[in-house]
Copies of this chain bind each other. A is one copy, B any other.
Amino acid sequence: MSVQMKQQVLRNELIKFFYYDNRLTLAELSRRSHKSLPLVTSTVNGLIEDGYIQDNGLAASTGGRRASSFQLNADKQRYIVAVAVDQMVTQVVIYDLMNNVKVGLQKKELVLHDNPALTETFIEFLKYYISGSGIPLNQILGIGIGMPGFVSAIKGVNHTFFKLGGNVTLKDHLSKELGLPVFIDNDSSLIALAELKFGAGKDLKDVLVVNIGWGIGLGMIVNGGLFRGHSGYAGEFSHIPLSQSNKMCSCGKRGCLEVDTSLVFMIERAKAEMDAGASSSMEQVYKTTRELPADVFLNAAKSGDPLAVSVLSDAAFLVGKGISTLIHIMNPMLIVLSGRGAVAGKILMAPIQQAINEFCIPWLAEQTDIQVSTVATNAELLGAATLVIENCDFN
């Protein structure tokens, strides 16, 4: 690697440290980058000259001479487009480098299944949003997109949705159409990334993040980094053979964890129980519209509706059985329950803990902490922004 490239790599690395932790000293940067103080000092001086970083006065004392601290310079306007795609709705927001919302969140209904115009509509939506923001393209570092499906971030392809004819990858296609660097990844991986950098898993080495959404996803942090497996598809948690039920899964197999734990299944079951005469606070919405939106279901559970709680608990017990498997295999420090289903976190915890008591070697279960995410509501967007930060060039 040439000298200039190495120096650019160090610049990128230092900016990332500031992105994750606002104020840092030279000594801290040197420790984290494993580079010498003189080198870090001169690189930081270069970043100050280029306007990326500014001096922030003396840091708090740690028992000796107080260190100068530095932080990102808001005047250097650089932005990130973060996109979170789910089965029904696509959300987009623009952040600055301090993770402040620069351009407000916009949602668009965009159904992934059986939608031939999907990719085209998606591109139009983003084009319109970005141009409407008024931010010049050269101030945008890139677009990070989280989406469901079998996604390989490295190859830049999705084998399930947004399929393209021909040889071009989805990543390259979007990048060409939108005129900006594009980075795509699996939704669960991005949620895990957000938990690693900003959530419960901050600075931890081995963390598993369960994404409770339309399906059950898994993002894996191994040795302090996202683990993707040899061809990019690790964490296919929802299709492990675990359920006793004989229902056919969307993947074509029977016994997948997913068939009894997805939000789709839970809502179907709640509907069926109401049809069979069960009373619930969800009745009104369901009876009048014949629909039961996920939010209504989750909020009902959250506020203690017995039907919703019962349906959710049954599913959570099975998720807990899956988590027991994960604990045995991975011996993680922490498992985080995240994704949109995590708003019902407190209700999920009891049956999951019960399953762990039943299926885990107690001594092993003790080594793993289980927590509900505190950043779940915008974890995927945060993760999408992080994906850009991790992969873009600061110039």
Contacts and interface: CB of A to CB of B under 8 A. Distances in A.
Interface of A: 150, 159, 205-206, 218, 220, 222-223, 227-237, 239-242, 251-253, 255, 321, 324-326, 328-333, 358-361, 363-364, 367
A330 B233 CA distance: 8
A223 B223 CA distance: 9
A359 B255 contact: yes
Contacts of A330: 229, 234, 329
Total copies of the chain:
2
B324 A240 contact: yes
A109 to B, nearest CB: 29
Contacts of A227: 222-223
B326 A367 contact: no
A363 B333 CA distance: 31
A229 B241 contact: no
A78 B325 CA distance: 43
Contacts of A239: 328, 361
Contact of A233 (B159, B253, B364): B364
A331 B237 contact: no
B329 A240 contact: yes
A230 to B, nearest CB: 4
Given A236-B364, A364-B236, A229 B332 contact: yes
30 contacts: A150-B363, A159-B363, A206-B229, A220-B329, A222-B222, A222-B223, A229-B332, A230-B333, A231-B331, A231-B367, A232-B331, A233-B364, A233-B367, A235-B329, A236-B329, A236-B361, A236-B364, A237-B328, A237-B329, A239-B361, A240-B328, A241-B324, A242-B325, A251-B361, A252-B361, A253-B359, A255-B359, A325-B329, A329-B329, A329-B330
A171 to B, nearest CB: 20
The prevalent SS among residues of A at the interface is loop
Contact of A241 (B230, B332, B359): B359
Given A236-B331, A241-B324, A253-B358, 4 more contacts: A206-B229, A231-B367, A252-B361, A329-B329
Contacts of A332: 229-230
A363 B321 CA distance: 25
Contacts of A324: 240-241
A250 to B, nearest CB: 11
Nearest to A333: B230
Contacts of A229: 206, 330-332
Closest 7 CB pairs of A and B: A229-B331, A230-B333, A234-B331, A236-B328, A206-B230, A241-B359, A240-B325
A231 to B, nearest CB: 5
Nearest to A332: B230
A367 B230 contact: yes
Contacts of A326: 329
Contacts of A222: 222-223, 227
A312 B234 CA distance: 30
Contacts of A150: 363
A360 B251 CA distance: 9
A358 B361 CA distance: 28
Contacts of A251: 361
Contacts of A240: 324-325, 328-329
A316 B150 CA distance: 29
Contact of A331 (B223, B233, B361, B363): B233
Nearest to A228: B331
A283 to B, nearest CB: 36
A329 B241 contact: no
Contacts of A206: 229-230
A395 to B, nearest CB: 26
A321 to B, nearest CB: 6
A279 to B, nearest CB: 35
